Amino acid sequence: MDKKLLIVDGLNLIRRLYAALESEKDPTRRIERTQSIAVEALAKLTHQFSPSYAVVVFDSNGKTWRHQVYPEYKLGRVPMDDALLDSLPSFAKVFRFNHLPCLRIDGWEADDLIATLAVKAASINVKSYIISTDKGFTQLLGDDRILQYDYFAKLGYDKIWVPGKYGVEPEQLIDYWALVGDTTNRIPGVKGIGPKTALGIIGSFPTIEEIYANLPFFSERIQSMLAGGYEQCLLSRSLVALKTDVEIGVRLSQLRYIESKVE
């Protein structure tokens, strides 16, 4: 049987379940219900994917390297409810009680940890299933051994899905996002360049470096938009690109999943 690693974006799952319980006005009861539904969701996922290994990954508290290089990163995003933020350690405790390992490393976003786990697992021929609605993970789907699944929409994403959604291959997404920006995380693109224009540019030259090395190739309108934006594009690309070499310090064997334990 092929070995599989189930990687759950913990906060992505929890925040959406919590938001769906907005009608529950008792803060304590809302947290308890969210925890119960989250455990049920994890049980469904482990039953669905029958993983050899599983892990729930959390963001660290505070700022990360992206905030250090770009202070406006995620600026203006709606903050998490204090009650939910304060309860996150108890979520991890509940998950561990149900024999699902949890991972959090100070100074790192869950996205980078998840990307590192998936890429390292792929390198030893273990297929990863990333459970998240975050579009950023689609940049990893060029590898057949990395897949993404949206638990809420019940949809799976792979390397074939990406061109149909964005018009580029997975490995081109970080250059594409460098041009159009990522409004979710407050990462700027090039002013005036939207998806359609970006596809035309990347269709001619696939990377930011090649685009700017061949500016005379483009129309005067495109040249004027791109002018002076090289350094910003490089910065934006570095921000949207997920790290795949984080020193996690966890062996895959430590994430082994025992099916009968989750209740």
pLDDT at 93 over 50: yes
User: What one-character-per-residue DSSP string does 76-111 give?
Assistant: TPPPPPHHHHHHHHHHHHHHHHTT--EE--TT--HH
Interatomic CA distance for residues 238 and 5, integer angstroms: 27
Q: Which amino acid is at 98?
A: N
Backbone φ, ψ for residue 96 (5° rounding): -65, -35
The predicted pLDDT at position 263 comes to 46
Percent with pLDDT over 70 in the chain: 98
- Reported as a single tens digit per residue, the pLDDT across 11-57 is 999 999 999 999 999 999 999 999 999 999 999 999 999 999 999 99
* Residue-averaged pLDDT of the chain: 94
pLDDT at 141 over 70: yes
pLDDT at 214 over 70: yes
pLDDT at 260 over 70: no
The predicted pLDDT at position 9 comes to 98
* Pairwise pLDDT comparison (117 vs 60), residue with the higher score: 117
Exposed, middle or buried by CB within 10 Å (0-12, 13-18, 19+), for 155?
exposed
User: What one-character-per-residue DSSP string does 136-194 give?
Assistant: GGGGGTTSTTEEEEETTTTEEE-TTHHHHHHSS-GGGHHHHHHHH-BGGGTB---TT--
Token pair 């009968």 in the structure block, residue: 260
Backbone φ, ψ for residue 9 (5° rounding): -75, 95
Q: Which domains does the chain have, with CATH numbers?
A: 4-162+242-261 (3.40.50.1010), 167-240 (1.10.150.20)
